[in-house]
Structure 1
Amino acid sequence: AEDVTDIVHPANVSMAERISKIIDLDICGIDIMTTDISKPLSETGGAVLEVNAGPGFRMHLSPAKGLPRNVAGHVIDKLFPKGQTGRIPIIAVTGTNGKTTATRLIAHIAKMNGHRVGYTTSDGVYIQNRLLMTGDCTGPASAEFVLKDPTVNFAVLESARGGLLRAGLGFKRCDIGIVTNVAADHLGLKGIHTIEQLAKVKGVIPETVLPGGYAILNADDDLVY
């Protein structure tokens, strides 16, 4: 392969950019056949042969002739712009009762405000209200499932005692942490024998709230507030 980046005619560059926008691809490979890439295709009778959504990088990184181009670096800069962390808003909900209802309500409100919402509950994992996993999905594996989905830009994660004790959280920090209440419904499991111990476990969620975030606590419950 020969690198000809510096001699590509601006009209051909503009055409390639327009093709990617029309197809709605941020990154693509466009195969062109022409006798002279330094001239517009309209003059040479050239043509576009293929648009590839998964282009190879090897010929750009190590061409047989011409300058190597760090195209991978440009792709990374596009995916992860400087000054951005790649995080999406996370709301974590815990408590003894009312977690699932609160999670569903918050997810619905976020969806109505234009967000692409992924949420976990005691009956499954949902992406934009579509059920993708069934069963008790209140542990860290389910949270990671949502956070790894590239279509999701807002996460609401029900976080139960069992998952917290077994494997911790599926995220490092949340923007909002909610504790609905603490009751003696689940004592005697995983070494938790007193309601005070249970309250300490639930307290992990507000402790993970980012600086500038919010911890929403039930002020009527002395074990919460």
Structure 2
Amino acid sequence: MIPARSLSGRRVALFGLGGSGLATAHALIKGGADVLAWDDNPESVANAQVAGIATGDLRQADWGGFSSFVLSPGVPLTHPKPHWTVELAKAASVEIIGDVELFSRERNGQAPDVPFIAITGTNGKSTTTALTAHIIKASGRDAQMGGNIGRAVMTLDPPEPGRHYVVECSSYQIDLAPSINPTAGILLNVTPDHLDRHGTMQHYASIKERLVAGSDTAIIGVDDIYCAQIADRLEKAGKQVIRISKRLPLTDGYFAAGEDLMEAIGGRYSRIGFLEGIGSLRGQHNAQNALAAVAACLKVGLDLGEIQSGLESFPGLAHRMEQVGRKDNVLFVNDSKATNADAAAPALSSFPRIYWIAGGLAKEGGIEPLRGLFPRVAKAYLIGAAAPSFAATLGEAVPYEISGTLDAAVEHAAHDAAQDRAQEAVVLLSPACASFDQFRNFELRGDSFRQLVAAIDGMKIIGGTD
């Protein structure tokens, strides 16, 4: 745990007592702050009391006595309207911050030269965070990974020489971290998302921009217009900017050419790495993730040999194009995290011959946005509540069956794929749906798929994830 000593001796209000909120409260108390915490959920308040955290309804508190207000990133700061605690804090002119801000202050105060890589973007940030941390760890260095992935940031080990931090940051966390200043800040992409919490695309993009604007080196994917403009704007302001692209040859920066990772300096190109044969990093989207990780790792002192070795040993993330088994020429891939059509597109675009398990609780638009990828699907196996509507969309474009349940779908897809004479056939769970009709969450759906695959006779189980 990182004690939040920057607020030692101060009275601090805290709202939001989920996992990260409890961790932050403990870090503040350990750092010497006087904390009063609250949550709209009585059960969360009770859990905090059991954990020894002082609680009290912040509606009744004297806000004039607070120096800071620490807000959970899951609580609305601006849209659709500010939470009532935000209004009280603003009325009392109390700063509103989050756990990533506390981490930034502790690093700045204790060990400002400790390498800190912060990653954001609408898509790909979890894979990029995990990949970057894996490369650093595989090189023999101390890699502390947390934030919006895995461990709450204040539960990481305290800053000290030799330690490297790799922190995934959501837009909500950036909005509460005004002094964030990573060694390398990564902005992968900006596409419409979370507009219920940010109001407009311009506001959403401006929040993402703050992370790279505060960094020593800004690593920015320039394949969308918002990020391209951010890169240009920061460069004009004198910021060191490294552009990356998964599809465009750049004059300066890093780009993907097929499975090769290229560096461009003044229009001269050299290969600095490759993804060929790395199953966990298939697809154009993963080329962007890898480019960002390479650029960041170079900035914090790793060499190309260490980085390539880390790329090759990366196991991937659970439930995100996770290779779970192989039997003869058939690969089994768990992409349960794909809970809508946009999220399923990367996996469908990464394999040429697919036995596709799809369905669950459908999102708006269904699978119509994936029509351009239907030629890659040898057959579809439809499950859950969405099966009839997905069948109507597939029509005569793709052979399909309504399997109903995941176990039937896996059994039938495995049987059919085994008859395929393709060099590699893929049984792919990429549901393009929420799980809630048959599973409590996408993790349980993916775990069930893994178990069903493992039970197939002759299956070779593939690795596991860090």
Q: TM-score, normalised by structure 2?
A: 0.24
- Which of the two has higher C-alpha Rg? 1
